[in-house]
Amino acid sequence: MTTTPESLESFLSGRWQRGEGIETTLVDPVTGDELATVSAKGLDLQGALEFARREGQRALRGLSYAARGKLVGAVADVLVANRARYEAIAIANSGNTKTDAAIDIDGGIGTLKYYARLGAGLGDAHALVDDKPARLAKAENYQAIHLMVPRRGVAVHINAFNFPSWGLWEKAAVSLIAGVPVLAKPASATALLAHAMVKDVIAAKVLPEGALSLLCGNAGALLGALTADDLVAFTGSADTAARVRGHANVIAKSVPVNIEADSINAALLAPDAAPAGAAFDAFVREVVREMTVKAGQKCTAIRRVFVPAQTTDAVADALAEKLKATKLGDPRQADTRMGPLVTRAQQAAAFDGIRRLASEATLVCGGAEPPTLDGIDRNRSAFVAPTLLKLDDASEAKAVHEVEVFGPAATIVPYGDEQDAASLIARGGGSLVASVYGEDKDFLVRMVREIAPSHGRILAVDPAIATVHTGHGIVMPQCNHGGPGRAGAGEELGGLHGLRFYHQRLAVQGSSDLIAGLQASAASLH
């Protein structure tokens, strides 16, 4: 007997609503079974935004940062109470292993808890002071200060398919602390987890009406309904990001847009890192982890592996040994270490990218064909084997710096000296993160300075932290997440810095008494 997949409703204007027909069908990437459908056709998106601006703003704006922190903490508590259900959803809809699911689910919950604590630290204030008062003239009592006040619109969050939990809650946590209501649009292909989480939060009634909305389905006319008070935070491909930034209404209304897009991230092994040494082993361990966790479907995953030319073969052998030993299969099996990509469309895109890389590089392991796995139909599943490629000569190669395979694939790139390494890394055009591994701290310092302009974050690993660091690809809420150039030129998180996007920063000029009064009623951002 055939079961009709569940139709995921959207939560807009304070009620659950179902769109017309089917826009996208969600599937299990292991079995190909249909799990649910989504559609936003016929939904009143303009009305949903107006409702959030009116009801959500009224409720949130009247609260202090500390009070909003309590709301965010209550959201985290709801998710913790229901966590056991989420893991099964992540396995079924995203093909996650338990480890993959934990990164997504617990990453979202942890970020909510972190920002709840930050909100509490801002106390009863309703605005933020960004710096100290500045005297403007000979008269000492004429001063200015930079004040930050919450924006009056809605934060539209357009999230990527790879982190349906973390992507949702890391944006929502900051926005809600800032006092700006959220309309979240998860990627349709993996919307099941985001839908389940929001449904639990709405049912628990821990947020004021209008503070959180959910759109399941295509964005449609959403961007055309934005006003100058609204904001957009987008995570996804550079092509889609360009359409968001270039939307006629977004341009006409000067709607602020924060982008996190494609990123061809790098890991670099220092010349002094000898095989079997602490730095070498940490490097190999991290590259393998970044290639296989979530099947390489992380915007921060390592795509380019920079090694001294004389060490190329040793690195290739060490990586290939571990990658070939990685158990690929159904994530429901306890011994599985890597699951499939989320859809067959993503699998096809990954294979196309691997073929483009292989036009300039040698294949070490893996490849652009579905692997043969016991009990799994290769014609219905979305598996890609861990794929390592190697360049013999990096001087003329282009694809490795231009093609991001959003899956378990990376390319070894040999370099000559420090300047050669830095120059090659910069050819990525801007990245979210790079990591550097070595024994010589002076080398690490020089390399950080050299490649810093091309990155939003750098992890520098010496033996002192080789086994204790949080990881190349793990985004911590205390740290900036974003990057220049092709990475989108955006910034998220970074502790209190993340609140800036959701505030209007203005200079206030007046008497020293007035400035002192503003200072007394606001919290410091520093």
Catalytic amino acids? 260, 299
The secondary element (H helix, E strand) that includes residue 415 is strand 409-415
Residues 6+ apart with CB under 8 A from 184: 157, 159, 168, 171, 172, 194, 198, 212, 213, 214, 215
Contact 230, 49 (CB under 8 A): yes
Q: How far apart are CA 72 and CA 80, in angstroms?
A: 13
CB count, 10 Å around CB of 407?
A: 28
Triad 27, 31, 32: Cα angle to 5°: 40
Contact 175, 182 (CB under 8 A): yes
CB count, 10 Å around CB of 5?
A: 16
Q: How far apart are CA 483 and CA 476, in angstroms?
A: 15
Q: How far apart are CA 453 and CA 162, in angstroms?
A: 27
> Shortest CA distance to 456 belongs to which of 438, 440, 472?
472
How would you class 359 by CB atoms within 10 Å of its CB: exposed for 0-12, middle for 13-18, buried for 19 or more?
Answer: exposed
Q: How far apart are CA 244 and CA 236, in angstroms?
A: 11
Tokens in use for 466? 């080789």
Is the four-CA dihedral 377, 378, 380, 383 of positive or negative sign?
positive
Q: What is the DSSP string of 118-157?
A: HHHHTTT-SSEE-S--EE-SSSTTEEEEEEEEE-SS-EEE
Q: How far apart are CA 81 and CA 71, in angstroms?
A: 16
Q: How far apart are CA 74 and CA 76, in angstroms?
A: 5
Residues 6+ apart with CB under 8 A from 188: 23, 24, 26, 38, 161, 216, 217, 218
Q: What is the DSSP string of 376-403?
A: --TTT------EEEE-S--SS--HHHH-
Contact 68, 382 (CB under 8 A): no
Tokens in use for 227? 């006003």
How would you class 62 by CB atoms within 10 Å of its CB: exposed for 0-12, middle for 13-18, buried for 19 or more?
Answer: exposed
> Shortest CA distance to 287 belongs to which of 413, 473, 78?
473
